[in-house]
Chains A and B, each alone.
Chain A
Amino acid sequence: MILLFVSLFSFSVNSNAKSITLGWAAWDPANALQELTKEFTAETGIEVNFEFVPWPNFADRMLNELNNKGKTFDLLIGDSQWIGAGAVYGHYVKLNDFFDKEGISMSDFSPATVYAYSTWPKGSKNYYALPAMGDALAWAYRKDWFDRPELKSEFKKKHGYDLGVPANWNQLYDMCTFFQGREIDGQKRYGAAINTERGSEGITMGVTAAMYAWGMEYENPNKPYDMEGYFNSPQAVEAVEFYRKLYEDCAPPGHSDAYMVANLDAYKSGQVAFQMNWYAFWPGVSKEDSGGRVSGFFANPKQNVAAATLGGQGISVVKYSDKQDLALEYIKWFARPDVQQKWWDLGGYSCHNDVLNSPSFPTSTVYAQGFLDSMGIVKDFWQEPTFVELMLPMQEAIHDYVVNGKGTAKGALDKIIEEWVEVFEADGKL
């Protein structure tokens, strides 16, 4: 009996010692990672437990865990904006020594993703994550509708150019309004499902897609945190006004608090001609094309400049983990080029140059070229340790203007700057 107890106890100790927990958002790529990780377990004998948190609660759950120095997660695939807080507040393990020891070179990964997902201070050689999931905000459209001869000719007659992938935001607007309220196959359709969500980051991620394309900069490049005239520049104001126009004239009814899932639903149910969303969802959208639906994909259209809102995440080792060695072993395995190729094949977005530079990559899926294009033009929201404090006023002010129709675009941007100044002052940056 005692022997049985001892053996059971030692089994439990061993199994605990050989298992790690990885935290990420609950979405399609997480399932692909779970599938991929089976190979890691087969190779190393280390069990990987997953905890996937729905997107609306993802930041709250994970950041609370980190702030409380929780030991739930050994590995965390955290949003790009968290890297500052992860580094400054000591939540993430600095990986430089580990990378050097294991021969993992950051030059093997796409520079934009290394910059965005791994470094703090930005652009430095201090690495706190391995680029895990490249992503950017992009667009999907109903190619089957666009290919209909009667719609093509009607559109050309009206606007003087071909109905197709929009070359800029003005064309996007023309196309969206063209489909708005139009009856196709006996059903009323609408223009575009765009981000309007209030609670977390949705409308900010959406409106910045326009603001970046208009050429908005957050701050004076020569004087950090000097935002006046940059974040509220005439171009930025015009972009926000445009986004409101797009919402008012092109969104389906009731699309006033919509983000990833709501946009997907509007598209899948055949309500809209366009949806704005992350590349992460395109494998699923493409796979689910049926009943005559054919999806096309394109990178964020340019206006004054080519730019796209950055998504995606890096994988970090949590400082409070008791199993950092096992977590690092996982990162070592995940950084391998062959694993990265499998990651892409399963529906994850690898950031490894071997995968991205492969001659077959652009044609490997219908959205691969768009992904490549996007990753070359991405821009991210503030990655400061105080990014949540910076995000919240933007969510409120932009939602108030775009959805609520309150005030002016300039007023909204001024109000955001006012709040941001307060945040930076409290953080000792100003």
Chain B
Amino acid sequence: MSVKKKFKGLSDKAVGWLFIGPTVLLLLAINIYPLVYAIKMSFTNFYANKIGREPQFVGLKNYIKVLNKEAIWEKMQVTASFMFWTLLLQAIIGLGLALLLNRKFKGNELLTTLIVLPMMLSPAVVGVFWTYLYNPQVGLFNYVVNFFYDLGSFDMIGSSTLAPWAIVIVDTWMWTPFTMLICLAGLRSVPNYLYEAAEVDRASKWQQFIYITLPSVLPFLLLALLFRGIENFKMFDMVVELTSGGPGSATELASINLKREAFEKWKTGYSSAFAVILFVTIFGFGNVYVKVMNKIKER
């Protein structure tokens, strides 16, 4: 029986609903319902581990508490710094690598494969093996640094000055290939005739880059950074394996703190308020970013 016959009698709209129905139901069940439930919980003093204790409505108390807590702002600062440096480095290095790999040379494909390997690994595994690479006694990272510049013994994970850089380096190592791939797709979509016309107009390589390459690849780069920004705002596993948020709270990102509040301290109401604040933050930034990105695309 053909699909046409099977759905005979159903309007196009009904068929459409039939197709998207299961997805909508799933979304409602696993995304929207928990979100609404979390918002509801955020106005209570609910503790998920205190069995038999009914949650009481506390109004905006949890939100006020979260926003007034100095430690929360410290975590947000750590998260912002982590995001800024990882996105900056991934944009610069990713674009650089994409420009390099956009040229035709022997071994190009092999090199591309090798460069994208890190992003195929599990973040938890990456976190664990970088703890060995950062080991001050036997770690390869310290050995390489000391080979070029003798810094003596230094502990990337144990120092509050170096630990934030330790997580930035690992995230950059792991996810720059992602930015590179997206930029590469952008570069390969630039029509050759633009460069040919520029050559005819005697434009220098630098002018070609500024006036043709960069504007063409910018929407792609911004898209990659949007994805990476959202991911890094939620970053958890790699950092937990690498530093556990330490030393002290030097690398305790907002997501790690949220997990500790929600599933170790079991402050469900409070952590729901924190989660809602984080959600609104990322949603707000995401929307503004997309609008800016669309404007750039329109130009």
Contacts and interface: CB of A to CB of B under 8 A. Distances in A.
A403 B246 contact: yes
A16 interface: no
A64 interface: yes
A389 B265 contact: yes
Given A89-B51, A392-B265, A426-B45, A198 B153 contact: no
B249 to A, nearest CB: 6
A25 to B, nearest CB: 17
Contact of A253 (B136, B240, B266): B136
A63 B50 CA distance: 12
Interface stretch (B155-163, B169-177, B184-192, B200-208): B155-163
**Most chain A beta carbons < 10 A, residue from B50, B243, B248, B260:** B248
B247 interface: yes
B118 interface: no
A256 B155 contact: yes
Contacts of B12: none
Given A67-B48, A89-B50, A254-B137, A399 B265 contact: no
Given A67-B49, A89-B49, A403-B158, A256 B264 contact: no
A365 interface: no
Interface in A172-230: 197-199
B49 A404 contact: no
B225 interface: no
Interface string A110-129: 00000000000000000000
Interface string A361-395: 00000000000000000000000000011001000
Contacts of B134: 254
Contacts of B247: 198, 256-257, 399-400, 403-404
A256 B163 CA distance: 11
B246 A198 contact: yes
A197 B244 contact: yes
Interface string A230-254: 0000000000000000000000111
A396 B45 contact: no
Given A85-B49, A89-B50, A404-B248, A254 B260 contact: no
Contact of A254 (B158, B264, B265): B158
B265 A388 contact: yes
A159 interface: no
B244 A199 contact: yes
Nearest to A85: B49
Nearest to A397: B248
Interface in B120-163: 134-137, 139, 153, 155, 157-160
Interface residues of A, number: 31
A401 interface: yes
Contacts of A396: 248-249, 252
B264 A90 contact: no
A257 B248 contact: no
**Most chain B beta carbons < 10 A, residue from A90, A253, A389, A400:** A253
A288 interface: no
Interface string B265-290: 11100000000000000000000000
Given A253-B153, A257-B158, A64 B263 contact: yes
B245 interface: yes
Contacts of B245: 198-199
A392 B160 contact: no
A147 interface: no
A389 B250 contact: no
A253 B51 CA distance: 45
A426 B265 CA distance: 12
A400 B248 contact: yes
A284 interface: no
A211 B133 CA distance: 34
Given A67-B49, A256-B158, A403 B266 contact: no
A158 interface: no
Contacts of B240: 199
A253 B48 CA distance: 41
B266 A256 contact: no
Given A67-B48, A90-B51, A254 B157 contact: yes
Interface string A272-285: 00000000000000
Contacts of A388: 264-266
A67 B263 CA distance: 11
Contacts of A401: 248
Contacts of B45: 426
Given A90-B51, A198-B244, A256-B247, A389 B158 contact: no
Contacts of B136: 253-254
Nearest to A63: B49
A397 B159 CA distance: 15
A423 B270 CA distance: 13
Contacts of A405: 160
Nearest to A188: B137
A371 to B, nearest CB: 30
A60 B263 CA distance: 8
A421 B114 CA distance: 53
A63 B265 CA distance: 11
Interface string A295-325: 0000000000000000000000000000000
Nearest to B45: A426
B16 to A, nearest CB: 39
A406 interface: yes
B263 A253 contact: no
Contacts of A90: 51
Interface string B213-256: 00000000000000000000000000010011111111010000
Contacts of B267: 389, 426
A371 B126 CA distance: 40
A257 B265 contact: no
B137 to A, nearest CB: 5
Given A90-B51, A198-B246, A253-B153, 7 more contacts: A67-B49, A254-B139, A392-B264, A399-B246, A399-B249, A406-B248, A426-B45
In the A-B complex, list the 3 residue pairs whose CB atoms are closest, starting with the nearest. A256-B158, A400-B248, A404-B248
Interface of A: 60, 63-64, 67, 85, 89-90, 197-199, 252-257, 271, 388-389, 392, 396-397, 399-401, 403-406, 423, 426
22 contacts: A60-B263, A67-B266, A89-B51, A197-B244, A198-B245, A252-B137, A253-B137, A253-B153, A254-B135, A254-B137, A254-B158, A257-B244, A257-B247, A389-B265, A389-B266, A389-B267, A399-B246, A399-B248, A401-B248, A403-B246, A403-B247, A404-B247
Interface of B: 45, 47-51, 134-137, 139, 153, 155, 157-160, 240, 243-250, 252, 260, 263-267
